[in-house]
């Protein structure tokens, strides 16, 4: 008996929701004084990462609407209330993906959009948690699913400027650390 076509859609929506929930939980710890803290992303502080998450959400919302992924003009670092902007854009992205998931003819587009969003929210949520020195790894089930979905898809050519080479991890590393290390970040 094979899985129904709705199974991958439901799984990918759950993956996105797990990553979004993680990012939003990390956002709840950001104080105004934290916005200028450096993150593991070179030359980016917490404010820049939060605004990048909002920009990525807008890009994926655009992808859902047009089928084309186009990054918007980055928000200015002077954008007021960046955390509120980030939360709001994640909420709109969630609504957009739920609507797209209900359109079977758009399943390929949905799967790609939800995967991209989940990767971004989890990785950058981790960046912010690390910057704030929070002990908040990506939840185990979410990290395991993310790692399964990206392993083998990033090589020297596809890593580009966005991902450093994978970082070796100990055999007993958590799934969160394995996912982060695969993306080229140094687990803490």
What integer pLDDT is reported at residue 2 of this predicted model? 41
Q: Please give the pLDDT value at position 77.
A: 92
Domain boundaries, the chain: 6-138
Successive 10-residue mean pLDDT values, the chain, 188 residues:
63 96 98 97 94 97 91 93 98 97 92 93 97 96 93 70 83 96 89
Q: How many residues does the chain have?
A: 188
Residue whose C-alpha is closest to residue 94's, from 9, 7, 13: 13
pLDDT of residue 7: 64
Burial 86-119 (b: 16+ CB within 10 A, else e): bbebbeebbebbeebbeeeebbebbbbbbbbbbb
| CA–CA dist 133, 180 (Å, integer) | 16
Read off the tokens for 124.
Answer: 């950058």
pLDDT of residue 137: 97
pTM of the predicted model as reported, rounded to 2 decimal places: 0.92
pLDDT at 21: 98
DSSP string, 34-82: GTT-B-SSTT-BHHHHHHHHHHHHHHHHHHHHHS---PPPPPPTT-SSH
Task: Please state which architecture CATH assigns to domain 6-138.
Answer: Up-down Bundle (1.20)
């Amino acid at each position: 008996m094979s899985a129904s076509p709705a199974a991958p859609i439901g799984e990918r929506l759950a993956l996105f929701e797990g990553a979004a929930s993680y990012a939003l939980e990390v956002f709840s710890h950001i104080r105004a004084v934290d916005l200028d803290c450096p993150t593991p992303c070179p030359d980016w502080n917490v404010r820049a990462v939060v605004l990048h998450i909002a920009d990525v959400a807008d890009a994926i919302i655009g992808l859902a609407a047009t089928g084309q992924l186009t990054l918007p003009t980055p928000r200015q670092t002077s954008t007021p209330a960046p955390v509120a902007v980030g939360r709001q854009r994640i909420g709109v992205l969630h609504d957009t993906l739920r609507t797209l998931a209900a359109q079977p003819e758009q399943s390929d587009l949905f799967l790609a959009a939800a995967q991209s969003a989940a990767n971004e929210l989890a990785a950058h949520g981790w960046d912010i948690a690390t910057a704030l020195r929070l002990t908040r790894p990506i939840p185990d089930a979410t990290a395991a699913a993310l790692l399964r979905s990206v392993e083998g898809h990033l090589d020297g050519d596809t890593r580009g400027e966005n991902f450093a080479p994978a970082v070796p991890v100990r055999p007993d590393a958590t799934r969160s650390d394995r996912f982060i290390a695969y993306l080229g970040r140094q687990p803490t």
